[in-house]
Amino acid sequence: MTLQSWWVVFACAAVVAVVTATLAWRRRSRTPAATALTVTMGGITIWSAADAAVYGLDAQPVRQAYAAVLMAGVGLVVAGAYALARTVADPSWRLARRTAVLLAVEPVLLVVAAALPATHPLVMDSAGAGAAAEVTLGPLFLVHTGYSYLLLGAAYLHLFRRFRVATGVFRSQISVLLGTGLLSTVGNVATVASQNDGHGVDVTPLFFLLTGLVHCWALFRLGLLRLVPVAREQVVDTVPDAVLVVDPDNRVLDLNPAAVAMLERMRPGVADGIVGRSLHTVAGAHAVALFGSVASEDGHRVAEVSPGVWLDVRDSAVSDPRGRALGRIVVVRDVSEQQARQHAVELLNRQLAEQVRLIDELRAELAEEAVRDPLTGLHNRRHLDRALAAALAAASGQSPVSVVMVDVDHFKSVNDRFGHAVGDRVLQSVARVLTGAARPGDTVARLGGEEFVVVLPGAGQWEAAARAEELRRRCAALVDEGPWGSCSVTVSAGVAEGPAAGADPASLLAAADRAVYAAKAAGRDRVVAAGDVAAPVG
C-alpha cells in the first residue's frame, strides 16, 4: 500500500468514529458514560481526519496545521477515555470542574505550542514534502505521550478493579472496554516506536477503527451504556432504612446515612466517628439487646428502644465461603410514626367502644324510661301489656298467672283536701309498698291515675288473694304526716287468675277490674277475687 492510499483508511476510521460518537450521544440521558464515549470517539474522529488530510492532500497549510489538530484529537481521546473508565468503574463518579480543568490544561498547552511557529518544532517537525516527508517528534510530544500513557494507565487500573468484582453482563462490558483500550494503546506505542527514524505511517487510527467497530457491536449486542450497574452508594446510601454492618465483636464496620440519623436520634452526639466503635457505645445497651435478641430468634422484631422510638429490626448473618462468621447486616426501619398512628387508632377504638357502651346504656335507660311511670318509677301500661302477654303465653294448668289490681280509695278527696302534691306522695308511698312486697319475676305497674297492677306468674287465685290482702294491710298502715296534718288511705284490690278468668291481657285485666269494683261496692278496703265476686276476702 502506497503512502498516498492511506488516506482512505484514515477517512474510514473517521467515519466509523463519527457513527459511534452519534450512537453514544443519543444515549447521554441514560448514563454519563455516553458523554465520555462521545468525547473519546470525537477525538478519534479528529485524529483520523487529520491523518487522512495529511496523506490525501499535499498542501503546506495542512502540514502546518497537522500537529495542532493532532494534539487536539489526542487530548480529547485521552481525556474521554479516562472519564469513560472512571464512569463505568464507578457510576456515581462525576467529572468535577477542577478535574476537567486539570485534564484540559496539558492538551491545550500542547495545541498552542504546536500552533505557534516558535514552539512548533518542540512538538513535531517535518522535512521534505508530501507523504514521504521526514517527521521528527519533539520533546514536548514525547512528554505528552508519557503523560497520556500515565493517564490511560490510571483509567485501565480503575476498569480492572471494577472487572474483578463485576458479574454477568457488566463484566462483559468492562472486558470490551479494557480490551479495545489496551489494543489502541499498544498500537499507539508501536507506532511511536516505529517513527523514531522520522519515517513510517501513524497507524494508530487503524486500531481506533477497530475500537470503534467493537464499541458499535457492544452498543447493540452487550447493552453497553444501556445496562449500567448501580453503585453501592446509589443503593445503600439512598434507601430510607438504616443499614449497619457489624463484625462478630459488634464493632460497626459500615453504615448508611439513614443509620447515622437513626443513631443520632437515639443517642444525640454519636454521629461523629461511628465506624470502628462498638455498637454498644453508639446505640446503647437497650438497642444492642434488641439487635442481639433479633439475631438469636427469627431475625425480625419490632420494639421500642427509647421513649417514642420504635424500630423494626431485621438481622442477617454474613459468612465467608468456608462458613466462618464475618459479621451481621442489620437493617432497621424507624416505625415510630406507624406505631404512633397504631396507638392512636387503638385509643380511638377504645374511646369508640366506651362511647358505644355509654350509648347502649343511654338507649337502655331511654327504653326503660319509656316503659316507666315518671311519678312512681313503676312500669307503665305499655310494659304491663308485654309482661302480662308473655306470662299468659307461658301459663298452664299447673302454672297459672294471676293479677292483682289495686285502687286507692277516695283518692279524689285526698287531692281535694290536701292538694295534688300530697296526692302524689300517697301514690308514691303505695308504689313503694307494692314493689317492696314483689318477688323476683313479679311485675308492678301503674295502670293510670290511682290504679296499680301486680302480675304474679305461677300464683293461683287464692295465693294471689292472700298476697293482695297483705298489700291491703300494708297500705292501710301508711300515714303521711306534714304541715297539712295527717293523711292515711286504704285500697281496694281485685284478683283474677289466668287463663281461667282471661286468656289475654285485656280480658284478664277486665276481670280484675270487675273484682275491684265489687270490692268498692262492698265497702272498700278489701280484696275480692274474680272467681267469687260475691264473697270478698278480708
pLDDT in tens, 227-261: 555 555 566 677 788 888 888 888 888 888 888 88
Q: What distance in Å separates the CA atoms of residue 403 and residue 516, rounded to the nearest whole number?
A: 12
Across 363-372, 403-412, 499-508, the highest mean pLDDT is recorded for 403-412
Res 536: pLDDT: 43
- Whether residue 150 has pLDDT greater than 80: yes
**Distance between CA atoms of 158 and 36, rounded to whole angstroms?**
15
Range 50-54, long-range pairs (CB < 8 A, 24+ positions)? 51/6, 51/7, 51/10, 51/202, 51/205, 52/7, 52/8, 52/10, 52/11, 52/13, 52/14, 53/7, 54/7, 54/131
pLDDT for 537 equals 46
* pLDDT over 80 (residue 324): no
Q: Which residue numbers are catalytic?
A: 450
Q: Which CATH number fits domain 381-532: 2.40.30.170, 3.30.470.30, 1.10.10.60, 3.30.70.270?
A: 3.30.70.270
- Rounded to the nearest 5°, which phi and psi values hold at 253? -95, -35
For domain 3-221, give the CATH number: 1.20.1070.10
CA distances from 103 to 185, 275, 384, 533 (A): 18, 34, 105, 129
CA angle, residues 54, 55, 61, in degrees to nearest 5: 30
- The correct answer on CATH 3.30.420.40 for the domain covering 236-334 is no
Phi, psi of 254 (to 5 degrees): -165, 155
- The mean pLDDT value for 51-60 works out to 79
Predicted confidence (pLDDT) per residue in 100-111, tens digit: 898 899 899 999
- CA 371, 374, 378, 382: dihedral to nearest 10 degrees? -30
The CA angle 511-514-517, to the nearest 5 degrees, is: 155
Boundaries of every domain in the chain: 3-221, 236-334, 336-369, 381-532
pLDDT of residue 209: 67
Tell whether omega for the bond before 499 is within 30 degrees of 0, i.e. cis.
yes
When pLDDT is cut at 50, 70 and 90, the band that residue 370 belongs to is confident
Residue that is written with C-alpha cell 297539712 in the block: 484
Cα separations in angstroms, 187 against 161, 206, 525: 23, 8, 138
One-letter-per-residue 3-state SS of 436-487: HCCCCCCEEEEEECCEEEEEEECCCHHHHHHHHHHHHHHHHCCEEEECCEEE
What's the rounded mean pLDDT across residues 284-297? 65
For residue 481, the model assigns a pLDDT of 84
Provide the pLDDT for residue 195. Answer: 60
Higher pLDDT, 19 or 231: 19
Query: Could you give the C-alpha distances from 143 to 101, 139, 148, 203, in angstroms and in order?
Result: 19, 6, 9, 20
- What pLDDT band is residue 220 in, cutting at 50, 70 and 90? low
Q: At what angle do helices 505-521 and 381-394 cross, to 10 degrees?
A: 110
- Within 10 A of 243 (CB to CB), how many other CB atoms are there? 18
Contacts of 498 (CB under 8 A, 6+ apart): 391, 392, 395, 400, 401, 402, 403, 508
Task: Tell which wins on pLDDT, 474 or 36.
Answer: 474
